[in-house]
Structure 1
Amino acid sequence: MTIDEMVQKGVHLGHQTSRWNPKMEPYIYTKRNGVHIIDLIQTCSQLKTVSDMLEKYSSQGKSFLFVGTKRQASGLLAKVAIECNSFYVNQRWLGGMLTNWKTIKRSLCTLQELEVQEGTEGFQKLPKKEATTFRKRKERLQKYLGGLKGMTALPDVVIIVGQVEEMNAVLECKKLGITTVTILDTDCDPTLTDLFVAANDDSIKSLTLLCNTFLHAIQTGRDRLKDSTPGTTLGRGKTNRAAFKKREVIRS
C-alpha cells in the first residue's frame, strides 16, 4: 500500500485540532485548516507491523474479535470478520462481554436454543402473543450477540475501530490482558493498546482500506496454518465452524 493510496482514501485526515489527545502528537505531521494531519510515513510502518503480527497470530491458530459499533464501521466489520472466520461486535458493547464471559456464553447458548425451537412444530402452535415475545427475545440476542456465535472462549486478539466509542471494550481487554490492535485517530490514547495504526477512523474509505489489509493478513496466516497442519481448528479452543455459516451480517 502506498502513501498516495492512503491520501486518496483520506487516511491522513485527523480530527479538528480542538478535539485531539496530546498523546497522539508524535504521530501527527502537521495541522491544516484547523484539522490535524496524520504522519502517513509512520502509518505505513505501523500498518506493516500490525499486518505481520496479525498474520503471525493467525498462523498460530489464534482467534480474533472485531469491535466497532459506530455507523461507519458496523457493516464493514461484520463483513470482514465473517470473511476471515472471526467474531465481531458491531451494534453495542454490553458491559462484561469479556470480563463476565460465563454469562455471555450462557446467553449464546440461549440464542442457539431459541433458534432451534423456532423451527419446531411446537413453536408453530404457540399463541400469537407468546410467539411474538419469543421472537423479540431471539431478535434482541441476535442483534447484540449474533457476531459471537461459535465463540467458545475469550478471543486471543481484539481489533478495535473507534477507541473513544469502544472504551468499555478497551478497558475489559486491558483488565484481562487480551492483546488489542486499534485504529487510532488523533483523539485517541496510544497507551491503551498493544498495537496500533494511526489513521482516520471515521471515513468509510479509510476504514475499508485498513480493514481489508487486516483481512488479507489474517487470511494469509490461516492459509499457512492449514498448509502446515491440515485439519487444524481455526481459532482458540474448539471453534464451532457450523455457527460461522449461520451467522448473519448485522448492519445498523
Structure 2
Amino acid sequence: GMMTNWATVSQSIRRLRELEARMEGEEVGQLTKKEVLQLTRERDKLEMTLGGIKEMGGLPDMLFVIDTNKEAIAVEEANRLNIPVIAIVDSNATPDGVDYVIPGNDDAMRAISFYCELAQAAVLDGLQTEMMATGVDAGGAAEAPVETAVAADAPAEEVAAEAAAAEAAPAEEAPAETPASEAPAAEAPAEDAVKVEGATDEGAAAS
C-alpha cells in the first residue's frame, strides 16, 4: 500500500527527516538518555521501512519489477494508479498487468545485477537526453571555472618564460669574450717573424 497510501507514507518520511535533524543537531544534548533512546528507536524503525524511498519526491513515473510473483501487490497498485510497469517475467510468472515485458531469469543474482545495471544506464541516458533537449549542460557548466582559471594563469606563465629567456641570454653571450684567450694564437705569426729575423742576422754575421 505504499503507492496507493502515499499521503500517509509521505508524512512518515517527513517525520523521519525531522528525527534525523534533531539527532544531528544541538538539541540532542539537552535531552535525557531515555528521550534520546526513544527517538533513536523511532528513527531506526522508520529508516528500516522507509529508508529506501525517503529521497522520493512523489509517486514514481514508472515501476521496474524483477519478480512479478513476489511483487504482485506493487504491480496491482501501479495499474490502479496508471503507472507504467516494466518487469522481468520468468517462465513461472504471468505477464498480466505488465506494460513492457522482458523475458528473463529472475532468480539468479548475476542476472538480477545485470538487469539493474541496464535499467540504471537507461535512466541516466534518458535524464541526459532530457537535459540536452532543454539546453542544460551540467558537465560543461561544471568544467567552465577550471578553464577560466587556466586562462587566467597563462600571463603569469608567459612572464616566467620571458624572465627565464632573459636570464639565459647573458649566459649565451659570455662566449663572445673568449677570443681574448685566443689572441696568442693570432699573435703567433709575429713571434715566428722575430725568429726568422734573428736567424737572418746570425747568417749575416757568420758570412
Instruction: Work out whether the TM-score is over 0.5.
Output: yes
Whether 1:185 aligns to 2:87 is: no
Of residues 202-211 and 141-150 in structure 1, the stretch that sits farther from structure 2 once superposed is 141-150
Alignment partner, residue 43 of structure 2: 138
Whether 1:167 aligns to 2:72 is: yes
Paired residue type of 1:199: G
Q: Distance in 1 between matches of 2:120 and 2:27?
A: 42
Alignment partner, residue 147 of structure 2: none
SS in structure 2 at match of 1:155:
coil
Structure of greater relative contact order (alpha carbons < 8 Å, 6+ residues apart): 1
Given the two structures, how large is their TM-score scaled by the length of structure 1?
0.51
Q: Distance in 2 between matches of 1:213 and 1:188?
A: 21
Alignment partner, residue 245 of structure 1: none
Alignment partner, residue 109 of structure 1: 14
Q: Distance in 2 between matches of 1:130 and 1:160?
A: 40
Alignment equivalent of 2:134, drawn from 229, 233, 242:
229
Q: Distance in 2 between matches of 1:205 and 1:150?
A: 27
SS in structure 2 at match of 1:197:
strand
Superposition RMSD on alpha carbons, in Å?
Answer: 1.6
Find runs of 4+ consecutive structure 1 residues off by over 3 angstroms. Answer: none
Whether 1:203 aligns to 2:112 is: no
Alignment partner, residue 34 of structure 2: 129
1:231 Cα deviation from its structure 2 partner: 5.0
1:171 Cα deviation from its structure 2 partner: 1.1
Report 1:20-169 matches (<5 A). Answer: 96-169=1-74
Paired residue type of 1:134: L
Larger gyration radius, structure 1 or structure 2: 2
Higher relative strand content: 1
Given the two structures, how large is their TM-score scaled by the length of structure 2?
0.62
Give structure 1 stretches of 5+ with no counterpart: 1-95, 233-252
1:222 Cα deviation from its structure 2 partner: 1.1
Aligned residues: 137
Paired residue type of 1:161: I
SS in structure 1 at match of 2:64:
strand
1:209 Cα deviation from its structure 2 partner: 1.4
| Cα 1:159/1:105, change in 2 over 3 Å | same
| Cα 1:230/1:125, change in 2 over 3 Å | farther
Q: Sequence identity of aligned pairs in percent?
A: 31
Paired residue type of 1:132: L
Higher relative helix content: 2
Give structure 2 stretches of 5+ with no counterpart: 138-207
For residues 87-142 of structure 1, the C-alpha deviation after alignment (integer angstroms, 9 at most, x for no partner) is: xxxxxxxxx20001100111111111111111122212322222122111111211
1:150 Cα deviation from its structure 2 partner: 3.0
